[in-house]
Amino acid sequence: MSTAKLLDGAYPGERDLIWFSYDRMIEVEDSVVTATVMVSDPSGADATPSVRLSGGPTITPRRVGQWLDGPVAGANYLLHCSGTMQSGRRLSIYAVLPTRAG
């Protein structure tokens, strides 16, 4: 079972680059080759959380970055990054990004 990392809160309307690090999950010679990032808002404050993802993920050998644009006040975004490694392993990282009230 995975746990979600609690990120520092965002402010409504700002644009944030969220990084998912696979450093401690993969062998030294392995690397991320593809990734998908999804977002939801279990709190219900944002009726359309998927529109907050801006562009596709940025992939480096050991990390994946995703822009989140214009978070809604009071939303608690659950981000899920699914990365496929060069070795064929598929690994998931979860994070929670709370948005402060205006």
Please state, in angstroms and rounded to a whole number, the distance separating the CA atoms of residues 43 and 58: 27
State the architecture of 4-98 in CATH terms. Answer: Sandwich (2.60)
CA distance 71 to 11: 7
Q: Return the residue matching tokens 């929670």.
A: 96
Q: Where along the chain do its domains lie?
A: 4-98
Supply the pTM of this predicted model: 0.92
Q: What is the pLDDT of residue 3?
A: 65
**pLDDT the model gives residue 5:** 86
Mean pLDDT in runs of 10 for the chain (102 residues)? Answer: 77 95 95 98 96 97 97 96 97 96 74
pLDDT of 92: 97
pLDDT of residue 1: 43
